[in-house]
Amino acid sequence: MSERYSNVWTIAEARDGKLKSVSYELLARGRSLADASGEKLVSVLIGANVSDAELRTLIDHGADLVLSVQDDALDAFIVETYSNVLMDLVRQFRPNIILAAATNNGRTLMPHVAMRLHTGLTADCTDLQVDMNTGDLLQTRPAIGGNILATIKTPNHRPQMATVRPRSTQALPADARRAGEIQHMNLKPELVDKRVRLLAFETEAADESNLQDSDVIVSGGRGMKKADNFRLLHDLAKRLNGKVGASRDAVDRGWAKYSQQVGLSGKTVLPKLYIAVGISGAIQHLAGMKTAETIVAVNTDPNAAIFQVADFGIVGDAFQVLPELIARLEERKS
């Protein structure tokens, strides 16, 4: 089987002619797999109005080849049409591994394609490695509510498919000296599914949708005691030019919106600074933020699990610590 299928593919995403950052994060994952297996790393872009200069950045970040299928009919994400295009490419080039981001697009497209290819798909992987003896992709993801890590493989079918959470990997530094090729593929008219059309596209409010793009996140958990107390988190986040996140417990209690939830059942974030206030540090929450560059934890329990991943820990009452932090920031500003 390994003789018939080769190379590692990552699915790039773009909007309004610009590549999304997750496209580069996936290349970092794919580059290590391709190097381990001695195969090429291919980035696949299905969309419209993405320039060659923009596509070139995929090579700068690790791709050996960029396969680009662009047409006005692909401007909007229609899963039936995108699935047809990706299926057509798979049949032509027979990739060994396909990785996509666990975004709305990736979580819709990959199951659709995997079902049609009669192959396996592992969602929300936290680790990916190649078994050098078999060539199988070892796909590790949390299971049973995050209490264990399961390693899954697809030994009898190809391609091997997996999704990876956004913000779970640092992109490789751009290197303009890297050699690579951009190959443009024409869209075959019969691949456009005319049964489906886009009626409208609605975006979330800016304060909700940019959590994963923020360099600073201040998150609150059950220790905040009630919804009104989240105003302290908003005050602190405002002074740090950040956004407010929340644990699942806080969201379940109605203190924050689901779009603010950080963790396995919410968003994975990779900010420069993550401040966890009144969050105990359940494994489900840690899985969504433990790769932050700097983690500050505030909790009354000195044995809270959050302190195991924190760079700085403050054992104290949030309602004393937060006003003091806010006051200090005000002093520095003045």
Q: Angle at Cα 85 formed by Cα 44 and Cα 1, nearest 5°?
A: 70
The reply to whether 37 and 169 lie within a common domain is yes
- If 0-12 CB within 10 Å is exposed, 13-18 middle and 19+ buried, where does residue 329 land? middle
Provide φ and ψ at 274, rounded to 5°: -125, 120
Verify cis geometry, omega within 30 degrees of 0, for the bond prior to 95. no
Our separate counts of H helices and E strands in the chain read: 9, 17
pLDDT for 2 equals 45
Work out the number of other CB atoms within 10 angstroms of the CB of residue 331. Answer: 8
The reply to whether 19 and 168 lie within a common domain is yes
Of 312, 329, 229, residue with least CA distance to 276: 312
Residue 2 resides in a domain: no
Range of the domain at 185: 8-191
pLDDT for 243 equals 95
Length of the chain: 334
pLDDT in tens, the chain (334 residues): 445 899 999 999 999 999 999 999 999 999 999 999 999 999 999 999 999 999 999 999 999 999 999 999 999 999 999 999 999 999 999 999 999 998 889 999 999 999 999 999 999 888 899 998 888 999 988 777 666 788 999 999 999 999 998 888 889 999 999 999 999 999 999 999 989 888 887 766 555 557 888 899 999 999 999 999 999 999 999 999 999 999 999 999 999 999 899 988 788 888 999 999 999 998 889 988 988 899 999 999 999 999 999 999 999 999 999 999 999 998 887 7
Gap between the Cα atoms of 167 and 171, Å rounded: 9
The reply to whether 168 and 25 lie within a common domain is yes
pLDDT for 209 equals 54
Residue 3 resides in a domain: no
Question: Which one of 160, 191, 222 terminates a domain?
Answer: 191
Residue 199 resides in a domain: no
Gap between the Cα atoms of 328 and 315, Å rounded: 18
The reply to whether 124 and 82 lie within a common domain is yes
* SS3 assignment, position 332: helix
* SS3 assignment, position 108: helix
The reply to whether 216 and 170 lie within a common domain is no
Domain count, the chain: 2
pLDDT for 84 equals 97
The reply to whether 173 and 214 lie within a common domain is no
The reply to whether 65 and 145 lie within a common domain is yes
pLDDT for 3 equals 55
The reply to whether 57 and 120 lie within a common domain is yes
The reply to whether 98 and 237 lie within a common domain is no
The reply to whether 272 and 319 lie within a common domain is yes
Residue 251 resides in a domain: yes
The reply to whether 253 and 123 lie within a common domain is no
The reply to whether 80 and 40 lie within a common domain is yes
Residue 150 resides in a domain: yes
Question: Which one of 135, 163, 191 terminates a domain?
Answer: 191
pLDDT for 1 equals 47
Residue 256 resides in a domain: yes
CATH number of the domain enclosing 231: 3.40.50.1220
Provide φ and ψ at 174, rounded to 5°: -70, 140
Take residue 124 and report the two structure tokens written for it: 């929300």
Distances (CA, A) of 233 to 143, 216, 217, 250, 318: 31, 12, 10, 13, 10
CATH number of the domain enclosing 111: 3.40.50.620
Question: Which one of 156, 191, 226 terminates a domain?
Answer: 191
Residue 29 resides in a domain: yes
